[in-house]
Structure 1
Amino acid sequence: MYYPLAQQEFESYLNGYDRENDRIKLKIIHTYGVVKQAEELAGRMHLSAEDTDLARLIALLHDIGRFEQLKRYDSFEPGTMDHAAYGVKVLFDEGMIRRFLPDDKWDSIIYTAIAHHSDYELPEISDPQTLLHAKLIRDEDKLDNCRVKLVDSTSTFINVSEEELGTQNITQKVYETVFENKCILSADRVTQMDYWVSYIVYFFDINFKESFDIIAENDYLNRIIDRIPYSNPSTKKQMEKIRTYMQKFINSHTGNRLS
């Protein structure tokens, strides 16, 4: 309903940033990738027209704070800026949301979904529609991030080449966390290989069967793991154990009980 206007305003907003910067480009493409995932999940989950429109709008705006973070710091690191908090600040505290949406009917849902889309875990949310969209954007974000991890240069999003990444160790705490069915805390990531592992085990935070189906259909687990040439023998062995464990977890959520 409001998406064409919102997209037009989003493109106008982007004109304040360097579209030729590799990280900016990555985030623009990612944003539209998340919109695509919103449309895909809405269709698979048979969401109403209203919830479909709302999901697309949240997807379009979820990372609006990233562009200022990249402009100021040229970094995705959470320590440089809380991009989600900045996003809701400019949208709601500064009133930018009215550029994208003429009325405030959905403001509370949009605020909550964007504010918490990159949190380690969601807070308790009592309103069913708000909870739905808070979960949807987290799944959509991760689903498109699978594409990012396969097609974008590792130097752009993790600051090292694939070859250098493959030489590194997984720290023990990060490795052990995998087998506790937990995502990796940002503070626990020490090596870039820890970051790579965190991109794989964020499947523990997927909320909907339809999202797991997309992961399985695209073989994202194996393709992401296999992108890196693991020249470090210890890391290579650990990654195979992670692969086996994560595959069983994904299978258990798609109805595929094969190991």
Structure 2
Amino acid sequence: MQKEDLVYFRRWFFEYVNRLFSPDSFIQENLELKIEHTERVCENILLLAKSTKISEKECMLAEAIALFHDLGRFEQFIKYKTFRDSESENHAILGVKILNKERVLSRLSGEEENLILKAIEYHNLMEIPENVETCSKLYFFSRLIRDADKIDILRLASEEYAEEGCRNPALELYLPDAQGYSEPIVSEILNNRMAKVGDMKNRNDVKLLRLSWIFDINFPATYSLLKEYGYLEAIMASLPETKETGILRRHFENYLNDIESETRYGNSKT
């Protein structure tokens, strides 16, 4: 990939999203939200990429992946008014279809085009498919976009929860503001696993699911950024004070302390 390719991709992206302007203020608000999200994920992925000392060309590949990772979200929200894939369609696959239909990546080599498309396809899965070799470029870039994406979603969530009177129901997947927590989600967290979207029953569960993403963080720099920004603490503070909350808070704190110790002594799984 060359610099002019990335310039072309940026120009195409903004021309594309501008074509989708909606007179419906709720739809347009969420389209603009995704534009801002995309820009921040591009910033995040470059921070993470540079922390790994990869080449300038590889940094451009990473930015292209970030630029297009949520491309399908725009048509998804216009058509279904939801960001929940299970109630609409898989936004990653939709984005890949759009890129293929528009032949946006045709100026790249076949290897680069395939890498970008696959990293986009895998970015929202529970885990990267087992058939992807852990030493491959695809595995590296898939982990990179997954971390960069999570950082900004956690940012957005923490800011949303801080503004109690200005909530966007689409970000909470239209779930009710009910008391309690889903037991399967609590169980997954206490076993250091990411919670499942299908187990969410209310807004508290959405918060816990997002917090559970710390069990799928891939780079030490990601943990450092999350600690610096305080997103996890802000989301945790927005949960009601209950016995379960106290247990979960201590579990998260212990897990993060263990990760920090492993990273400090050069024994991190990342």
TM-score bucket of the superposed structures, by smaller chain: 0.7 to 0.9
Return the letter of the residue paired with 1:138: R
- Quote the offset at 1:195 in angstroms: 1.4
- 2:154, 2:198 → 1: CA distance? 22
2:38 to 31, 36, 51: 31
Matches within 5 A, 1:144-223: 144-152=152-160, 153-156=166-169, 157-158=171-172, 165=177, 167-223=178-234
CA RMSD of aligned residues (A): 2.2
Whether contact under 8 Å (1:216, 1:250) holds in the other structure is no
Name structure 1 gaps, 5 residues minimum: none
Identity %: 26
Whether contact under 8 Å (2:9, 2:104) holds in the other structure is no
Whether contact under 8 Å (1:154, 1:160) holds in the other structure is no
SS where residue 8 of structure 1 aligns? helix
Whether contact under 8 Å (2:82, 2:173) holds in the other structure is no
Aligned residue number for residue 17 of structure 2: 14
Please say if 1:60 is aligned against 2:74.
no
Whether contact under 8 Å (1:178, 1:201) holds in the other structure is yes
What TM-score comes out, normalization by structure 1 length? 0.88
Whether contact under 8 Å (1:169, 1:193) holds in the other structure is yes
Q: Once superposed, which parts of structure 1, at least 4 consecutive aligned residues long, lie more than 6 Å away?
A: none
Matches within 5 A, 1:77-116: 77-79=84-86, 80-92=88-100, 94-98=101-105, 101-116=107-122
Name structure 2 gaps, 5 residues minimum: 161-165, 264-270
User: Structure 1 residues 160, 88: CA separation in 2 closer, same or farther (over 3 Å shift)?
Assistant: closer
- 2:188, 2:105 → 1: CA distance? 42
CA displacement, residues 87-123 of structure 1 (integer Å, 9 cap, x when unaligned)? 111212x243237x55434011111100010001110
- 2:105, 2:29 → 1: CA distance? 29
User: Structure 1 residues 12, 51: CA separation in 2 closer, same or farther (over 3 Å shift)?
Assistant: same
Whether contact under 8 Å (1:221, 1:247) holds in the other structure is no
Aligned residue number for residue 257 of structure 2: 251
SS where residue 15 of structure 1 aligns? helix
- 1:58, 1:190 → 2: CA distance? 32
Aligned residue number for residue 237 of structure 1: 243
Whether contact under 8 Å (1:171, 1:190) holds in the other structure is yes
- 1:147, 1:173 → 2: CA distance? 25
Whether contact under 8 Å (1:177, 1:183) holds in the other structure is yes
- Quote the offset at 1:160 in angstroms: 6.5
1:133 to 116, 125, 141: 141
- Quote the offset at 1:227 in angstroms: 3.2
CA displacement, residues 220-256 of structure 1 (integer Å, 9 cap, x when unaligned)? 221121135x2xx6xx332222121112212222237
Aligned residue number for residue 117 of structure 1: 123
The count of residues paired between Structure 1 and Structure 2 equals: 247
What TM-score comes out, normalization by structure 2 length? 0.84
